[in-house]
Amino acid sequence: MEESVDRGEHHNLVIVSNRLPIVLSKSRKQKWTVNLGSGGLVTALAPVLRDRGGTWVGWPGTAEGDTQEVDTLLQKHNKSIGYKLKPVHLTNQEIENYYKGFSNETIWPLFHDLIDHCKFKPEYWEAYQEVNKKFAAAVKETINDDDFIWIHDYHLISLISYLRKMGVKNKIGFFLHIPFPPTDIYTRLPWREEVLDSLLEYDLIGFQTPRDRRNFIISVRTLVDDPAITGKGQVISIKRKSKVLRAGVFPISIDANEFANLAKTPEVRDKTWYLHEHFPDQKLLLGVDRLDYTKGIPERLRAYRHAMRTYPELHGKLTFVQVVVPSRRDIYKYDALKMEIERLVSEINGEFSAAGWVPIHYMYRSLSRSELSSYYSAAEIAIVTPLKDGMNLVAKEYCATNIEEQGVLILSEFAGTAAQMKTGAILVNPHDTVACAQAIFKAVHMSAEERKTRMRKLRRNIRRYDIFWWVESFLESAFSTHLGSFPVVADYNPLADSG
């Protein structure tokens, strides 16, 4: 008889994230429309929420003042999607201090090891606490006793502490989408004990890679008295006093089949053909990133410039297409980064452009899914070189789209993805301009056979460990009583690399 696995099917699911998975827009006539987001997380979680019943709690992304209209709009929308969206409204001051402040100017840079970018302001911390408390009240209003609560990401670490103080006894899981930093960096945080105490209250905490979990465990050993750590593999257990926390490694992924199928549609094929026509006799090197200083865009541009200076035979033969999606527009560092990128692009184009060839095509905008897919399909090489990244879905999307299995992936060893994709990709240190330039040269000249072997390996891994595997293995771990009994991601070995 087949052994049944408890994935908590009998429990309703309550997802909590900073943002609701929707895009709200207002027409010129001040009429609101709501569309469900298209990201991997909502694709994977929506069917689970529909099957089990559930609620997604989050900020709708709107400013103060739109509260009533948004509430009415969402109530109507809930009926059509089969689960509930519960908005948590934020004031302009909260958006300033909790979202832009503590989340994006303290935790985000600190957890990406960029201590010089951090602001440690007490008013940011206070707002973070207030908003986490506000989210806790919203969650408490919506739950039943045996619902499973799954909290997402660094904006809401303290949420559990308020839920427990409010008497909520439900099982609660947390997934950290960004890296967990090494202890000597983590300990700079003035509220390091409070943040760690909250993390230790969860029943299950998920990290992207063994590296992140190992960093977390070393911080626990350093800052906490007598933790008992047992088990090895995908899920281990940390016991402190009588509380047991399970810590697992769950590399997030994408709906790989969806990306492969999109690449086969006539619309994407046409767009891809159009790109090839416009770049005749040239290979395309593609970078796609949100505007963020963690993504290593200036470093990548310098590496491309170095490649152009070192290998003149690439002139006219290789074009770098860099797409940047606007992000966190009102934070000063992001404006400064945009200016630095634009200065470098214009310097490089000024240095090398020749009749019929512009070395860098730069786009600063969001692309539709079919446009993005056609760039992924057309590019012979993708260059994904973050200085540090929790996972990096662009790397996975590029490979999943590459149905002809002829593309080459140049990947930063500091992207979470590297743990899973190191044998198929060309791994580089994004700070090493010379090595990155050499990697570009190597990718341009790689034989068709080697490209196929590498890409096949990458695609097999991404198909097997897709976003649906991720959701299932997290939920299975939350409800199982076993440790380490889950499938391990091929191509990297959490056993060898666990804390």
CB of 497 to ligand ADQ, least distance (A): 18
Tell me whether residue 178 or residue 195 sits nearer to ligand ADQ (CB atom): 178
Contact predicate 388/429, CB 8 Å: no
Burial string for 44-57 (b: 16+ CB within 10 Å, else e) reads: bbbebbeebebbbb
Q: Which stretch binds ligand ADQ (CB under 6 A): 86-94, 386-394, 422-430, 480-488?
A: 386-394
CB of 372 to ligand ADQ, least distance (A): 5
Q: Should residue 323 be labelled a site residue for ligand ADQ when binding is judged by CB under 6 A?
A: yes
Contact predicate 279/320, CB 8 Å: no
Tell me whether residue 161 or residue 294 sits nearer to ligand ADQ (CB atom): 294
Question: CA-based angle 29:87:251, to the nearest 5?
Answer: 115
Contacting residue, 299, 389, 466, 476, with ligand ADQ by CB under 6 A: 389
Question: CA-based angle 130:136:141, to the nearest 5?
Answer: 135
Tell me whether residue 53 or residue 298 sits nearer to ligand ADQ (CB atom): 298
Q: Should residue 341 be labelled a site residue for ligand ADQ when binding is judged by CB under 6 A?
A: no
Q: Should residue 382 be labelled a site residue for ligand ADQ when binding is judged by CB under 6 A?
A: no
**What are the strands, taking DSSP E only, across 268-316?**
283-290
Q: Should residue 325 be labelled a site residue for ligand ADQ when binding is judged by CB under 6 A?
A: yes
Helix 369-378 × helix 266-278 angle, to 10°:
50
Tell me whether residue 89 or residue 211 sits nearer to ligand ADQ (CB atom): 211
Site string for ligand ADQ, 391-410 (x = CB under 6 A): xxxx--x-------------
Tell me whether residue 290 or residue 302 sits nearer to ligand ADQ (CB atom): 290
Q: How many residues bind ligand ADQ (CB under 6 A)?
A: 18
H/E segment holding residue 9: none
Q: Which two tokens stand for residue 377?
A: 């399909």
CB of 153 to ligand ADQ, least distance (A): 8
Q: For residue 326, give the 3-state DSSP assignment.
A: coil
Q: Which stretch binds ligand ADQ (CB under 6 A): 85-93, 221-229, 234-242, 383-391?
A: 383-391
Q: Which two tokens stand for residue 57?
A: 């709690």
Q: Within positions 275 to 294, which residues make up the interface with ligand ADQ, using CB under 6 A?
A: 288, 290
For the purposes of burial, counting CB atoms within 10 Å of the CB of 72, is it exposed (0-12), middle (13-18) or buried (19 or more)? exposed
Phi, psi angle pair for 22, to nearest 5°: -135, 160
Q: For residue 85, give the 3-state DSSP assignment.
A: strand
Contacting residue, 252, 260, 307, 475, with ligand ADQ by CB under 6 A: 252
Q: What does the alpha-carbon distance between residue 51 and residue 158 come to, in Å, rounded to a whole number?
A: 29
Q: What does the alpha-carbon distance between residue 426 and residue 455 come to, in Å, rounded to a whole number?
A: 11
Tell me whether residue 74 or residue 381 sits nearer to ligand ADQ (CB atom): 381
Q: Which two tokens stand for residue 288?
A: 């796609």
Q: Which of 77, 177, 306, 431 is catalytic?
A: 177
CB of 163 to ligand ADQ, least distance (A): 23
Q: Should residue 114 be labelled a site residue for ligand ADQ when binding is judged by CB under 6 A?
A: no
Q: Should residue 151 be labelled a site residue for ligand ADQ when binding is judged by CB under 6 A?
A: no
The alpha carbon of 328 is separated from its chain's Cα centroid by a whole number of angstroms, namely 15
Contacting residue, 178, 260, 378, 426, with ligand ADQ by CB under 6 A: 178
Q: Within positions 12 to 51, which residues make up the interface with ligand ADQ, using CB under 6 A?
A: none
Tell me whether residue 33 or residue 366 sits nearer to ligand ADQ (CB atom): 366
Q: What does the alpha-carbon distance between residue 25 and residue 31 come to, in Å, rounded to a whole number?
A: 8
In the annotation, is 389 catalytic? yes
Contacting residue, 42, 218, 367, 403, with ligand ADQ by CB under 6 A: 367
Q: Should residue 177 be labelled a site residue for ligand ADQ when binding is judged by CB under 6 A?
A: yes
**64 C-beta neighbours (distance < 10 Å), count:** 12
In the annotation, is 117 catalytic? no
CB within 8 Å of 181: residues ≥ 6 apart: 110, 111, 112, 113, 215
Q: For residue 231, give the 3-state DSSP assignment.
A: coil
Q: Which residues are catalytic?
A: 177, 389
Q: Which residues bind ligand ADQ (CB under 6 A)?
A: 177-178, 252, 288, 290, 323, 325, 366-367, 372, 389-394, 397, 416
